[in-house]
A and B are shown apart, each in its own frame.
Chain A
Amino acid sequence: MLEEVPLGTGWVEPALREEFRGLGLRYTVVSAHTGRSPRELRARLRHLSDRIHGERVVNLRREPVASAYRVFFRQIGIDPDEHKPPGEAAMLERLRAGRFTSRDLLEDALTVAVVETGVAVRAFDADRLEGRPGLRIAQPREHLYGDRVELPDGAIVVADERRPIGLVFGDTGSTPAVTRATERIMLSVVRVPGIPEISVEEALWTSSGILTGTDRREQGRRGRSRK
């Protein structure tokens, strides 16, 4: 079981660190359930929707954080025009759908974090993990936790101290995925070279604050709506 920490730093396999200097993993663990989003959060998503327009999306890839993701995607063999980095994907979905659609508390918290900071936060069931999380290269015949599909040699994965739990910017293993039964959630950010630490921390604080109901902006909105 992964212990709760305000903001932890994951390990990075030395070979990987040598290849990508500045690559890292930050995480936090919160006691929270996912479920239907509160009215205040849905209002926040609507407010965010109003701030996104086509020209901003066009210029997004020139912004430092979005640019860092695109560069890293290229460097690890993913075409960012085919499989958009999370920030771009969220913005494009907003343009396509006309708004940010509320899905559930967790999805909405991650959407707010990625839209406000540009940094992608990922969630895992903390009670399914063993030891600290980190980044490493998959070994031959390994598979994601809960899946039977073998990972290719050399795949970059998020892992706990026993096994891979997700591909970097890809699938999550079925066992450590967050479900309605999850009681503690690990929120993690793969820190890509070039992304400022302050943005990473803000993304984690924002998403964890929403999930636990301690986000100051959420509290402010709730306070105002009660008056």
Chain B
Amino acid sequence: MPDVVDGHITERANVYSGSRNRLPATPFGLHTGLDEAPARRSLREQIAKLERELAAVFASAYPRRGLEWRVGSPGGPRVLGVGELEEVRDRLASRLEDARRTLRDRGYVERKNVERIEEMLEEPARFKWVRISNADIGEPGCKYWHSRPRLGLIGMLMGWWRVKISSGCP
């Protein structure tokens, strides 16, 4: 293993307790020039703002699943150089934009599903066997709306459809 591995302190440096492997050294960018200090400060402020916005989106996304939140990092704990801070900022911005776009798209589908539930309740026969769950409308819990015939086969032949609403999680 080479002594110098660009940009990474190692996983051990990140973990609270870990193996006793040798740590690869990293180039330390703190002394690259006095002019970079204000740039680093500004980048850290941008990172702070983006992280807080991402946290807000994360909380508002609950209980939706399947969204990607990981941003990645150059490895630490250490004072990051300008280039590394820019990379963290750009990744955060990109992740934030992705999360917002995904939530917007899902929000559209969820609104459509809510409208469909209302239509199902009014005309169950138009939505035979359609089943919409809380997850489909972005709500927590196990409740679902299911258009099915009353009295099974007889109801199906007679056209007696109704929406059965489940009572929640078992």
Asked whether A169 and B77 contact (CB < 8 A) given A58-B59, A79-B71, A153-B25, the answer is yes
Among A16, A137, A155, find the residue whose CB has the most chain B CB atoms closer than 10 A.
A155
Q: Which of A67-92 contact B (CB under 8 A)?
A: 67, 70-71, 73-79, 81-83, 89
Q: How far is the CA of A73 from the CA of B71 in the complex (A)?
A: 12
Given the known A-B contacts A19-B79, A76-B79, A152-B25, are A171 and B12 also in contact in the complex, defined by CB atoms under 8 Å?
yes
Contact present for A71 and B52 (CB under 8 Å) = yes
Interface presence of A168 (CB below 8 A): yes
Could you tell me if B79 and A83 are in contact, using CB atoms closer than 8 angstroms? Answer: no
Residues of chain A lying within 8 A (CB to CB) of residue B20: 147, 149
Interface size class of B (residues with CB under 8 A): 35 or more
Which residues in B have their C-beta under 8 angstroms from that of A154? 26, 28-30, 78-79
Interface residues of B (CB under 8 A from A): 9-10, 12-18, 20-30, 37, 40-41, 44, 47-48, 51-52, 55-56, 58-59, 62, 69-80, 84-85, 88, 92
A77 and B76 contacting across the interface, CB-CB below 8 Å: yes
The answer to whether the Cβ of A41 comes within 8 Å of any Cβ in the partner chain is: no
- Whether a CB of chain B sits under 8 angstroms from the CB of A62 is yes
Given contacts A58-B62, A170-B15, A171-B17, contact A77 B23 (CB under 8 A): no
Cβ of A225 within 8 Å of any chain B Cβ, yes or no, is no
Asked if A95 is an interface residue, CB under 8 A from chain B, the answer is no
What sequence of 0s and 1s flags, for each residue 52-64 of chain A, a beta carbon within 8 Å of any chain B beta carbon?
A: 0001001101100
B47 CB contacts on chain A under 8 angstroms: 71, 74-75
On chain B, the residues within 8 Å of A15 by CB distance are 30
Q: Is the CB of B25 within 8 A of A77?
A: no
**Contact status A76-B18, CB under 8 Å:** no
Besides A151-B13, A152-B23, 4 more A-B contacts (Cβ < 8 Å) are: A19-B41, A61-B58, A152-B26, A170-B13
